[in-house]
Amino acid sequence: MPNFPNSFTGNIRERKMNSNELIQAIRIDIAGEFEFSISESLALRARQPRAMCVLQG
């Protein structure tokens, strides 16, 4: 699993994100979607009900 920085640092309303912060936010979003798709595909392929329950969250 990727090592993410503190996710609450992006919750700043007084200013806009700079380009580095925007890039990091996009990377985190992509990694989260990728991790979700892997978990969902594993859950769909699992045959044990207990494994399906754990993988679907």
pTM for the complete prediction? 0.54
Q: Give a yes or no: residue 39 inside a domain.
A: yes
pLDDT value at residue 13:
67
Look up the domain containing 47 and give its range.
16-56
CA gap 12, 35 in Å, rounded: 26
Q: Provide the domain count of the chain.
A: 1
pLDDT value at residue 44:
77
pLDDT in tens, the chain (57 residues): 555 666 555 566 677 878 888 888 889 889 888 888 887 787 777 777 887 777 666
Q: Give a yes or no: residue 5 inside a domain.
A: no
Q: Name the burial class of residue 25, with classes exposed (0-12), middle (13-18) and buried (19+) by CB atoms within 10 angstroms of its CB.
A: middle
